[in-house]
């Protein structure tokens, strides 16, 4: 989904607040990740986006460039440490030191626990939780050396609430929230802010929304707006977590 110019125009994105900053956005070829990449780029950041689907990733990058955004597309599977190392190395070589990491890539597997497989469990936990650990571990030393940085993990209200058929997904997001809060304590003494964004259901390809009115649901741009608030907050403060719900029940 390509938002209209009126949808994209916000008080955050009009002021070039991130000019000269370098950001990585995982899962940046569609949905929430693409909206976040667009928002950061509109604020002046140089953005590196990654995804597994090379063709879709390149198309997303081309669309962003047409909007005047400085973007780098790096195909990567974030569950693989070698791909992450290449993503970080390529980004720093072509764009510069990484100031912002947005851990957005995520997948879901749905169904009663007794019908889920070990492969289902491994794929969800590897993508939604292990990848965040690997990426954080990869960028943290550079941020520590510069005594600054921002890491935003896209979690979910499913990390706080039980969902029918969502045992594996919920486990990954509960784990992500615990990881985020602990890493925030590890890194805050080095001038690095670590936060989580917890959206409710968002209109994307991620999961079906049978019976819900999409016009009343959250849009990817709503999550991007929350991320923009986090990465432009006063350096003295740390917003640890943001929960986002639709203004009206869908």
Provide the annotated active-site residues. 169
The CA distance from 228 to 216, in Å, is 22
Task: Check: CB of residue 187 under 8 Å from CB of residue 141.
Answer: no
In this structure, what token pair is assigned to residue 111? Answer: 């169904």
CA angle, corner 51, sides to 191 and 104, nearest 5?
40
The CA distance from 232 to 43, in Å, is 10
The CA distance from 238 to 168, in Å, is 30
DSSP state, 141?
H
Q: Residue 149 half-sphere exposure, CB side, CA atoms within 13 Å?
A: 28
């Amino acid at each position: 989904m390509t938002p209209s110019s009126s949808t994209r125009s916000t008080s955050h994105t009009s002021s070039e607040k991130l000019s000269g900053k370098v950001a990585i956005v995982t899962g940046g070829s569609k949905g929430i990740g693409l909206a976040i990449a667009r928002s950061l780029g509109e604020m002046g950041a140089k953005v590196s986006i990654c995804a597994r689907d090379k063709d879709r990733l390149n198309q997303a990058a081309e669309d962003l460039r047409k909007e005047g955004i400085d973007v780098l597309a790096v195909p990567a599977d974030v569950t693989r440490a070698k791909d992450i190392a290449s993503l970080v190395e390529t980004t720093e070589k072509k764009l510069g030191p990484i100031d912002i990491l947005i851990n957005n890539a995520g997948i879901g597997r749905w169904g009663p626990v007794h019908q889920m497989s070990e492969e289902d469990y491994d794929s969800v936990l590897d993508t939604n939780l292990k990848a965040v650990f690997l990426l954080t571990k990869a960028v943290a030393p550079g941020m520590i050396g510069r005594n600054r940085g921002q890491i935003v993990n896209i979690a979910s209200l499913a990390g706080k609430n039980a969902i029918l058929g969502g045992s594996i997904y919920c486990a990954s997001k509960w784990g992500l929230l615990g990881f985020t809060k602990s890493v925030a304590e590890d890194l805050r003494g080095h001038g690095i802010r670590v936060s989580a964004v917890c959206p409710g259901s968002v209109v994307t390809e991620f999961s079906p929304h049978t019976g819900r009115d999409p016009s009343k649901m959250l849009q990817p741009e709503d999550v991007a707006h929350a991320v923009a608030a986090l990465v432009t907050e006063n350096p003295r403060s740390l917003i640890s977590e943001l929960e986002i719900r639709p203004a009206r029940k869908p």
